[in-house]
Homo-oligomer: A and B are copies of this chain.
Amino acid sequence: MGKTRTSTEKELGVHFNLEPIFRPKSMVVVGISTKNYINPGTTTFLKNVFETNLGEKCYAVNPRGGEIEGQKIYREIKNLPEIPDIAVIAVQPNIAVFAIEECIFLGVKGLILISGGFAETGTKEGRKIQNQIAKMCLENNVPLIGPNCVGVFNPPYIDSIFLQSEKLVFPPKGNVSIVSQSGGILLDQFFLAFKSREIGVSSAVSVGNKAVINEVHMLEYYAEDKETDVISFYLEGFGPGEGRQFLESSKKTKKDIVIYSGGTTEASKSAIQSHTASIATNFEVARSAFKQYGILQPITEMEVLNYIKTYSVLASSKKPIRLDKRLSGKVAILSVSGGHGVVCSDLLHKYDLELVQFTEHEQEEMRARVTSTVADIGGFSNPIDITGAGTDADIIGVLDYLMQLEKVEIVLCIVVPYPPQISVQIGRRIAITARKYPTKPLVCFVPYIEKYDLIRESLELFHIPLSATVSETVQLAAAIRDKSRALLRLKKHK
């Protein structure tokens, strides 16, 4: 791909300044109800007054004036005590266009248009108003998020999600940023799911119909953002020229880029049009291009979660695993439950992973490292079955052997802590053993129940990716293998 910019790329206006939108010092919400305290605009206004640093620098506008929940409502934007950094617009399309015009005229630096009723309706009128707004913003270089979106989440600076916070579930603060074309997916498959797996978020944005700001702008923004290590997307379709630009922009960053794509089948194509006015991108065709550029594209909700979790954990480690070569996907499975080993082996094929074959000699080496009962009844071909008679020392003995064995690229350790002689110290002992081998990735399965949190937390402290099911264990390994390939491709493109 050449370096010359096309007119489309110019229109994309990649040099919008998004800083005021993500860290506004003042904000106005246009579209406050004077009566309905759960109306979208009102909700956004009140939550930013009470829940963000904006506080009294968050203003409300309604031509009728008055007050809501004790807060003053101004009649016009120009009457505010100051020109606010940004405006959140929550009024009908035909009113929104005038509000935006006024904002731009007054020097507002950024816009979030949360209302629906634009291009996604499929009507000529809806698309016309959306284009008109986009044109104004592009001509004046004012970034606009939306329309048809929940906007920006970057506490404690701003939270334009127009739903009451107590109805939602929030992830902890962390190193993953999220760009979503769907507010619902953002709140559920990202926020709620992240919370359940303790994946931390730096900031998030729902881009909706992408009239002005799209995933390319967001990729460039998060590539520079110091608090982001992993950039994740839910996308339903690229606009014209955006796909190519996305690939080009991806070359500028070494951060992990993960794409979750909706609208990959015939069934959902019409749904996408009415949801975010997108023309469905053929993400299965795009897959090979993404791969070439080191962009990761897991498929199911669980895979998305496990890929992002893996990269978040690996990136946040002060002593990260050094993935210095291309991993082909040769794994060793270590378990105290033979059944888990069998089920895990069955799943490898799906993710293009394979079991390393151990020689007789290697099996004897492992057998020599375990207690006599386990030496007698355990299985030391791959997958390794320590059996329910196993002790902590048996697991550690074999794990240590596997970690140093060149032919094993990734170790999958299935820590089912039910056997009598497995202690709650097993997590820490595994973690310390793993730390000795800084270029050999290890992933662990640990039951996600409070009873075994002590094991889980000791492994988390050492930044070892963890799973709650056998399927997920395999996904973690696939994520690491894919990352090693992505790193290699990035090098090639530099």
- A residues sitting closer than 8 Å to B (CB atoms) are 38-40, 43, 116-117, 120-121, 150, 162-164, 167-169, 180-189, 192, 234, 236, 262-265, 267-268, 270-272, 274-276, 300-302, 335-343, 345-346, 348-349, 354-355, 376-377, 379, 381, 383, 385, 387-389, 416-421, 447, 449, 451, 469-471
Given contacts A267-B355, A418-B168, contact A274 B345 (CB under 8 A): no
- Residues in B with CB closer than 8 Å to A268 are 341-343, 345-346, 383
Q: Which 10 A-B pairs have the closest CB atoms?
A: A184-B337, A182-B339, A275-B338, A185-B339, A274-B379, A268-B345, A262-B342, A38-B420, A267-B345, A184-B339
Q: Are A420 and B302 in contact (CB under 8 A)?
A: no
- Residues in B with CB closer than 8 Å to A188 are 337, 340, 416, 418, 447
Chain B: minimal CB distance from A90 (Å): 11
- Residues in B with CB closer than 8 Å to A421 are 38
- Residues in B with CB closer than 8 Å to A163 are 388, 418-420
With A163-B420, A275-B379 given, name 16 new contacts (CB 8 A).
A38-B421, A39-B420, A180-B339, A182-B338, A184-B388, A184-B418, A185-B339, A262-B343, A263-B342, A263-B346, A265-B346, A267-B345, A267-B346, A275-B339, A275-B342, A301-B471
- Residues in B with CB closer than 8 Å to A301 are 343, 469-471
- Give 22 pairs: A residue, B residue, CB < 8 Å, sorted on A: A38-B421, A40-B388, A121-B376, A163-B418, A181-B339, A182-B342, A183-B339, A184-B337, A184-B340, A185-B339, A187-B337, A187-B418, A188-B418, A189-B470, A268-B343, A268-B345, A271-B342, A271-B345, A271-B381, A275-B341, A301-B469, A302-B469
Q: Are B339 and A376 in contact (CB under 8 A)?
A: no
- Residues in B with CB closer than 8 Å to A379 are 271, 274-275
**A376 (CB) vs chain B CBs: closest residue:** B117
Q: How far is the CA of A183 from the CA of B335 in the complex (A)?
A: 13
**A275 (CB) vs chain B CBs: closest residue:** B338
Q: How far is the CA of A162 from the CA of B421 in the complex (A)?
A: 12
Q: Are A447 and B192 in contact (CB under 8 A)?
A: yes
Chain B: minimal CB distance from A342 (Å): 4
Chain B: minimal CB distance from A186 (Å): 8
Q: How far is the CA of A275 from the CA of B379 in the complex (A)?
A: 8
- Residues in B with CB closer than 8 Å to A167 are 417-420
Q: How far is the CA of A471 from the CA of B276 in the complex (A)?
A: 22
**A384 (CB) vs chain B CBs: closest residue:** B271
Name A349's contact: one of B189, B265, B383 (CB within 8 Å). Answer: B265
Chain B: minimal CB distance from A58 (Å): 19
Q: Are A234 and B377 in contact (CB under 8 A)?
A: no
**A164 (CB) vs chain B CBs: closest residue:** B420
Q: How far is the CA of A121 from the CA of B185 in the complex (A)?
A: 50
Q: Are B385 and A271 in contact (CB under 8 A)?
A: yes
Chain B: minimal CB distance from A445 (Å): 9
- Residues in B with CB closer than 8 Å to A180 are 339
**A357 (CB) vs chain B CBs: closest residue:** B270
Chain B: minimal CB distance from A366 (Å): 13
Q: How far is the CA of A348 from the CA of B271 in the complex (A)?
A: 14
**A377 (CB) vs chain B CBs: closest residue:** B116
- Residues in B with CB closer than 8 Å to A420 are 38-40, 43, 162-164, 167
Q: How far is the CA of A238 from the CA of B485 in the complex (A)?
A: 41
